[in-house]
Amino acid sequence: MGYCKNFKSKLLALLLLLFISVIAVLHLLAADRSFSESENRMLEQLPHFSLKALLSGDFTADFEKYVSDQFVFRDFWIGAKTDADRLLGKKESNGVYLGTDGYLIQDVIPPAEEDVRAKIEAIHSFDQATPEMNKYVMLVPTAAALYKDKLPKYAIIGDQEAYLKKVKLWLNPNIRFIDVFPSLYAARDQPIYYKTDHHWTTKGAYIAYLELCRQMRLTPQEEEEFNIQQVTDIFFGSLYSKSGFRHVQPDRLELYFPNDQENYTVTYVDEEKTTDSLYAMEQLLRKDKYAVFLNGNHARIYIKTAYPSGRKLLVVKDSYANSLIPFLLKHFSEIHVVDLRYYEEDLASFVNEQGIQDMLLLYNANTFFEDPSINNLTE
């Protein structure tokens, strides 16, 4: 009996050693990857070695990240871990909750009040530097604020609606805050947010567009004026990538094409590329299918429309605006789109030089509270 038990222990140890050896060899033989399709992010590359980096600890930390990112069969192990967690009843991974009805819902991190006030001050400073321009601020609640009933019972998240009300209170009265929470909440039974991605759907963007038109005194286009087409039904978005949760249903992605042909040009300024479409249909063949809107995020985009009003709009934004901007073509002759995460010029000078009359600052609430680039408005 003792011999048999000892043999089994040695056999298990040998198998474990063999498994580790095989994995190590495969890891050495496998080529490093630069991008993870499943996680939708760049992967850590082999860090440069130097004595200074070694002594400071930077090399060790970077090398640990490199090994983690380049570990052989990484995607399989991530999926296996989340599958095991689900069997144990765990419904949170990397800040993403596994909700009911197949929803993956990103956590809300309460912002520091001083950081929010600094961003409000940056907006006010920009307002003073561009006094001739009408300004509108739209901060879009994320799914966590609208679908609290779909979260696991133990989930405790920040009160995003309360933070948005503070922003509205702190903004100068001449800057109009466009509150889209009521409109989106009223439509929450419709597909206004993706289940596997942190963005709103085109339907959600359209509902916000209606509220924007009401505030800007524009006549909105009815849904009947669009040819709504489903362009994919296999969209696994950013929350699917971030969480590692698998075995969830993919999202569908729809585009609203106007029934009457529109003539416009879209120029990606830094890339010096001009196209006649707001949609990069080739992105539908890739992992990040939301990039079909405006071909993803760029420092500055210039859109010249056929609308003869002469009215110009500046959109300062994150990626939530990408699916709303197509609805604006019939209301403005020019639309200038700026992403402060990549834009490095003096925006106030640009606005004054171009004679832009209206500005829409559009972010989802999480990005507004977390992203420091909004402070670049005054630089």
- Distance between CA atoms of residues 159 and 151, nearest Å: 14
Cβ pair 324, 211 in contact under 8 A: no
- Distance between CA atoms of residues 47 and 223, nearest Å: 52
Domain coordinates of the chain in residue numbers?
2-102, 106-378
Read off the pLDDT of each residue in 93-101 and give the average, rounded to a whole number: 93
The reported pTM is: 0.83
Q: Is the pLDDT of residue 88 over 60?
A: no
Read off the pLDDT of each residue in 3-9 and give the average, rounded to a whole number: 65
Q: Which residue, 292, 287, 347, 282, is CA-closest to 317?
A: 347
What is the per-residue pLDDT for 68? Answer: 62
Enclosing H/E stretch for 139 = strand 134-140
- Distance between CA atoms of residues 135 and 314, nearest Å: 9
Q: Which residue, 43, 38, 39, is CA-closest to 68?
A: 43
What is the per-residue pLDDT for 39? Answer: 46
Cβ pair 264, 116 in contact under 8 A: no
Read off the pLDDT of each residue in 264-287 and give the average, rounded to a whole number: 96
Cβ pair 82, 243 in contact under 8 A: yes
What is the per-residue pLDDT for 51? Answer: 73
**Percentage of the chain surpassing pLDDT 70?**
82
Among 11-15, 41-45, 109-113, 233-237, which is the least confidently predicted range? 41-45
Q: Token pair of 83, please?
A: 């599958």
Cβ pair 36, 79 in contact under 8 A: no
Read off the pLDDT of each residue in 63-83 and give the average, rounded to a whole number: 61
- Distance between CA atoms of residues 317 and 313, nearest Å: 12
Q: What is the DSSP letter of 287?
A: S
More confident: 358 or 156: 358
What is the per-residue pLDDT for 156? Answer: 85
- Distance between CA atoms of residues 377 and 344, nearest Å: 10
Nearest 5°: phi and psi at 315? -115, 115
Q: Is the pLDDT of residue 291 over 90?
A: yes
Q: Which residue, 335, 269, 278, is CA-closest to 299?
A: 269
Q: Is the pLDDT of residue 7 over 70?
A: no
> pLDDT tens digits for 26-67?
556 666 665 555 444 556 677 777 877 777 777 777 767 665
Start-to-end Cα distance in the chain:
78
On average, the pLDDT of the chain sits at 88
Which band of pLDDT confidence, cut at 50, 70 and 90, is reported for residue 261? confident
